[in-house]
Amino acid sequence: MANLIRSRAPFVVGATALVLLMSGCFFGVPKPTTVTPDSDVSAELAPYYQQQVTWKDCGNGAQCATVIAPMDWANPSSDTDITLALARHGAKGTKLGSLFVNPGGPGASGYDLVHDDVDFAVDKTLQQNFDVIGWDPRGVGRSTPVTCYDAPELDNYIYGLPADPVGSDAWLAEVTQSAVDFGQACLENTGPVLQFIDTQSTVHDLDMLRSIVGDKKLNYLGYSYGSDIGSYYIENFPDKVGRIVLDGATDSSISVFEVGLVQTAGFQLALENYITACPTMFPDDCPFLDGKDAALATIRGLYDRYDATPVEAPDGRMMDAGVLDTAMSMALYSQDSWSFLNDLFTEAEQGVTDTAFFLADYYYGRDSDGTYADNSLEAFIAIYCVDYPVETDPAVLAQQEVELQAASPTTYRAFPPTGDLTCGNWPYKYTGPPLTELTGKGAPDVLIVSTTGDPATPYQWGVALSKQLESAHLITYNGEGHTAYNKSNSCVDDAVDDYFTKGTVPAADPNC
């Protein structure tokens, strides 16, 4: 019964490789490194910034390490330290420095991305010139994690349906209690670190990691939500910025409602683009041959049908419009995945649930045996709930519902009148400053990559961020899908590679 906003999605592979690659570390002979960490830090931060890291072979040609960070950067204490897990592939040629990579989420594993598939993280040019490092941010994966439910409980939280009629007082009480129970489970099983997994704390972690590997300046590639981390780093540590690229950029100045509203419109646009292209792209399999309006009406009908009468899958779970919506969104992240939409909508018309649950389970990291590959969903919720203030004004919430329905009349589903139940009942509230535009005053050149057809981090966010950050240069990719670098577009790839390896920036937006 999860009440979730559509996420700044985890960084995902295309349909040709819909496989979760999980691998543990098998430690070999330790390989200590000789680096020169920052010396100009306070005495209370010196144990963190000046710690020595020991890299150990851990398979796939990678090395892994674990370091410590203070739970609370404002009050560091060894009694409450947390751990951060890192994986790296060493530079194959002349090393220019380290390159930290974050795949997004929030909640996605940078460790797994670099350890399991460094070719997907960055191209060969950057592998030649940099130690490519991925890490699990606080709360995520192999770092000190957010832990809430076991697999059966998480199944019920995500896929369980309320017993009472939607919209009734009993229904509202039921879904509210579900949200309260989830937050309390997260607090009980995670502990006080749950309060300190916000993005600002992760930004401080990243600066510490830069020092630990001996780099005076940060080189960083952030995808999707990873651009939040990067933009706040530029804002907080402009004098430590080396070369930073933000791909699938986000606008950190907008509210969580504005995030959801723009994403909702973005997915509606991506859906319409699929419908328009479908008869030509899939002449033998396209389920929509009667034009866009008829297709959208059919999909709206499926949403209404499955909200009114969910259908049981072979494993006993029930497919309602929420499962259909998650599955559709998953396939809209990449044009390479659009073929799954043909199967999804064809099966949904027939009451078949196979593709819907396949895609929804992939989105949530659920394996076919009912276990979850990671804690990405729990981490996502926990980070979002402390990163944004929650709206509670009934009049504002009512207006927001009107705007959401207008943004995507095809897929609109009514939310509880009390707003975001999960974050509204979270054990810790947002305590940060008012959301505002970032300027990165004093930082050197940085690159923003934004895709015109990106549903998850829409193009206007990249444009807005490129105008806010004083040293930003925009690279537009005219195409579909979420993020653009290292996806066979030489215009984008060459601009990013030249920037990282030579420090050059385009004289103007190349409009790739």
Question: Which residues are designated catalytic?
Answer: 224, 454, 482
Is the preceding omega at residue 106 within 30 degrees of 0, hence cis?
A: yes
Quote the CA–CA distance of 79 and 24 in Å, as a whole number.
28
Tokens, residue 285: 């399999």
Q: How many CB atoms lie within 10 A of CB 437?
A: 14
CA angle at 10 for the pair 338 and 71, rounded to the nearest 5°: 175
* 318 beta partners: 312
Which string of DSSP letters, residue by residue, matches 8-59? SPPP---GGG-----------SEEE-------SS-TTTHHHHTPPPEEEE-S
Q: How many CB atoms lie within 10 A of CB 166?
A: 15
Are the C-beta atoms of residues 363 and 334 closer than 8 Å to each other? no
Q: Which long-range contacts (CB under 8 A, 24 or more apart) does 113-119 make?
A: 113/11, 114/62, 114/87, 114/88, 114/89, 115/23, 115/25, 115/58, 115/59, 115/60, 115/62, 115/64, 115/87, 116/21, 116/22, 116/23, 116/60, 117/13, 117/21, 118/62, 118/89
Residue type, 182: F
Q: Give the β-pairing of 446-453 and 472-480.
A: parallel
Tokens, residue 314: 């072979």
The sign of the dihedral angle between the CA atoms of 337, 341, 342, 347 is positive
- Of the candidates 57, 64, 119, 54, which has an alpha carbon nearest to the alpha carbon of residue 86? 64
